[in-house]
Amino acid sequence: MTTHVKTFTRVIHPAKGRWAGELLNLLLRITVKSRHGVQIDIPKLREKFRQLNRQAPRVLADVQRESVDCNGVAAQWLSPKGCRQNRVLLYIHGGAFVAYTPDVYAAMVASWCQPLKARALMLDYRLAPEHPYPTALEECLAAYQWLLDQGIKAKDIVIAGDSAGGNLVMATLQHLKAANQPLPSCAVLLSPFLDFTLSGTSALGNAPHDPIFNLAFAVGIRGFYAPAETYSQPSVSPLFGDFSGLPPLLFQVGSTEMLLDDSVRAAARADAAGVPVQLEIWKRLPHVFQMIAALPQARAAAQRIQRFVNDHTDWDG
């Protein structure tokens, strides 16, 4: 009996940085996971994100940061020196829909943009619980339309996001496709949270192994964004949406994440719908490890993202 291997899936376990990754997992278990419980205090959680943001690496001096209003949506341009103005990476941040670390994201996204000779538009959508669903999704759609209104062609837009932002990336793509709007050239999703019903096997199976999240936190945090009766709706759980006609997708996710199956199942649904898709499962790496600039695996992941973007745009050169 032969086992069918999904051709779009690659398990990545680079030797370089292995012990750094294990140390990071241990530190996260001690400093983050051990403090998660059913009761989530949003002000305290946001303070932890602010502390994280203060530790962000400096964005290089040759990257200009500029605040901008996009159809009423707050955002920030990141423009590396020598970038092509028509190349835009639209980045939608994570933070469980309730928090934002702009300096952390700026450092990561700018490092992607420099070799791509592109600029990035990082959205600062309004946060839950003060602004619950569908505010964030509506603002993502408004910002995308703003880019088109500025004369940026859809083929020159790459959309990307992590965690909650990955949810918004997928929901945005599905809404654009349903409305027959022009779609970006491709999309990059880092550990996206695509299933509010938590029906994936990894939500339970990986709960003891995930160095950041536990089931209590996952159950608790989703209620700040959307009411329980919406959890199976595609706009909240885009795993259950229509994948047909979407642009090429790249998923990167850690093998021990509770959210692993969100990426696995979404990639399978995209493949079944005829969408070009790549699923990368990074062995024993935590949620959105790509933000840890000092981690060799983060640099390797960034290079793979850059190759994917160049493969699906005409930006190479």
Which residues are catalytic, by number? 163, 257
| Measured distance CA(197)–CA(202) in Å, rounded | 12
Long-range CB contacts (within 8 A, 24+) of 32-40 = 32/211, 32/212, 33/210, 33/211, 33/212, 33/213, 33/214, 36/213, 36/214, 36/216, 36/217, 37/216, 37/217, 38/216, 38/219, 38/220, 39/220, 40/217, 40/220, 40/221, 40/224
Q: Are 129 and 77 in contact (CB under 8 A)?
A: no
Q: Phi and psi (nearest 5°) for 257?
A: -75, 145
Residues forming a β-bridge with 249:
187, 277
CA 104-207-38 angle, 5° bins: 80
